[in-house]
Amino acid sequence: MEFKSVTKNLITILAYILLAGITVYLYPRYDGSFPYRYEVGRPWSYDRLVAEFDFPIYKSESQLAQEEAEVLRDFTPYYTYIDGQPRSPLIVSLSERETLIKEGVEHISVVDEKIATVYPLKDVYTPKSAYIAFKTDFVPNITRDTSMTNQMRTALLGGISLTRGIVQSGEKVVDRGDIVTEETAILLQSLKMAYENEHQTKKQSAWAIAGEVLLVLMFIILFGIYLYIFRPEFLKQQRTMLFFALLSGMILVLACVLMRYTSLSIYLIPFAWVPIITRVFYDSRTAFFLHLMTLLLAAPAVPNIGEFMVVQIAIGIVAVAGLKDMTKRAQLAQTAGLILITYAATYTAYALSTTGEWSSLNVWNYLYFGINTILIICAYGLIYLFEKGFHLLSSITLVELTDINSSLLLEFAQKAPGSFQHSMQVSTLASEAAKRIGAKSLLVRTGALYHDIGKLAHPEYFTENQSEGQNPLLEMSPEDAAKVVIAHVKDGVRIARQHRLPEVLINFISTHHGTSLTRYFYNTAVNNSKGKSTVNPDLFRYPGPKPNTKEGAILMMADAIEARSRSLKEYTESSVYAMVDDMIEQQIQEGQFSETPLSFKDVEDIRQVFKERLLAINHHRIKYPTINNA
């Protein structure tokens, strides 16, 4: 058992080391050593940037293209005469003349004995046009000299300077908050090229990577500290820890690949997947902290960290708040709509607050927000995959499982109607108690519906399904009768697995009696012994385990109290209160809740709910009068 635990911990640790390694490897800053990312029209988000060395200012592509066009404006392609052909008039093939026209050529140079003569294009004929002009058949007598043409073109272009000045060491390139203009972008691109040409030493690259590794590990450790303080049970669940690593890692890989290999906006990445999917299966606080860790890990890859963090944190808050309990598919679409509004509003507000100019807004980002929203809606498919892959349970699935028209519950209602009605009552009591103490009411409600399905194996042995006066258990010895009753827990687990119920619900079935005694038969055995022999209580004890969650404890209480309430001769406030207190105190004395996180206040609140609900359910009705036949 200890080896298995060590193996689980090792796998979890390796998963997070892999997460850190992949993140650092994919950070978009290994294509040189230029450590800045920026967008034209957006504020510079880093500190003041000063040139550390002299570097030339490279011309932009548009400027170089303009100068090349200027240089090549009077350039003429070169031709040579074809041997054996007359040298007048100048004849080219029809396709060659069409090419010259397409190239916009107005003159050509014809080389004869190393002397180039320029002719206007109007003096160059095709065989057909020459025949029309001279009434004689001609064939092409000149051909393009591609080698000389390319050589002369290259010589002309080689005279164009790639630079247009120099930035001296110590000169400011851009300051924090400055809008990155086209001119600033040229300076930054020139600086980047200079960085790449400088060739950093291996020692410098190693230190840069080490810093990134430490940064990533620190953020992961901080998330681990959160779990250790607020959710220690998650640290013990390998499945949960692997879920966190995979979900966060999936988003990080998408973000880093996008920023490293494309020029698309980071706002295409649906970071809201992290809080939404986590919230569906876990709690709001954990969803937000995992979202925050993911943002911090992705931050070094984005061009404008300040804007990115502000926008994405706002999105995380909306995602968590919008999905308090996702019980309907429409809730995801509604949340996606709220996220779209938050994206647009937060981005606009941040941009205006930092620049004060409407022109600084990148209109393309609003399109990215729309695409992002569509991807968020697609999270429903991911929720299903994670649910099946990690054996998790979403609220939507719980709602589906509460459908009493499902095949299993219909069979339960038909074959064991008394047990089914008991389960319905327990479901109502337990869900109300869960709401009062902030536990998962939908989960315990669903668990209560299935907790007694083991009675399907032998419904006739349980009093709620028997006709009055017929109880086959009374014909058995107390030990055998107890064995039959106890077996319904094992049968319930078997039936649940046959119907592929989630493990969380199977846990309710196996723990709803904990390690308590079948007290009716135990007390009967003790009375029958009349003190002549010792009765072994283990023969009358449920195998357990004890409940280990608040929801499991609530179900145990509700199950025992609802069953006990049926034996009350009268329903008065005093009798109900006494019964509830006695039943819960008995379970506490037996230590049935020792492994649950219930507080004393939780227990008191649960007691009060049970008392109120039982009195409400079993209140007295007025007697309807009959008509006297006078």
List, for residues 9-43, the tens digit of each pLDDT value: 788 888 899 988 888 888 875 444 566 777 788 78
180 pLDDT above the threshold of 50 = yes
% of the chain residues with pLDDT over 90: 54
pLDDT higher for 108 or 356? 108
Question: No. of H helices and E strands in the chain?
Answer: 25, 10
Burial (0-12, 13-18, 19+ Cβ within 10 Å), 422: buried
370 within 8 A of 267, measured Cβ to Cβ: no
Q: Indicate the average pLDDT of the chain.
A: 88
What domains can you pick out in the chain, each with its CATH number? 2-28+204-389 (no CATH), 66-158 (no CATH), 395-617 (1.10.3210)
How many CB atoms lie under 10 A from the CB of residue 280? 25
**Backbone φ, ψ for residue 87 (5° rounding):** -100, 10
Helix (H, G, I), strand (E, B) or coil at 163: strand
pLDDT tier at 369, thresholds 50, 70, 90: very high
390 within 8 A of 243, measured Cβ to Cβ: yes
List, for residues 317-348, the tens digit of each pLDDT value: 999 988 776 667 788 889 999 999 999 999 99
Alpha helices (runs of H) in 262-406, residue ranges in sequence order: 273-281, 284-298, 305-322, 330-355, 363-377, 379-389, 395-401
Nearest one of 256, 293, 309, 270 to 45, comparing CA atoms: 309
Nearest-angstrom CA–CA distance, 363 and 74: 41
Q: Give the pLDDT confidence score for residue 355 in this predicted structure.
A: 74
Give the pLDDT mean for 282-289: 93
List, for residues 44-73, the tens digit of each pLDDT value: 877 688 887 788 988 888 888 889 888 888
Q: How far is CA 279 from CA 274, 326, 335, 416, 508, in A?
A: 8, 9, 12, 37, 22
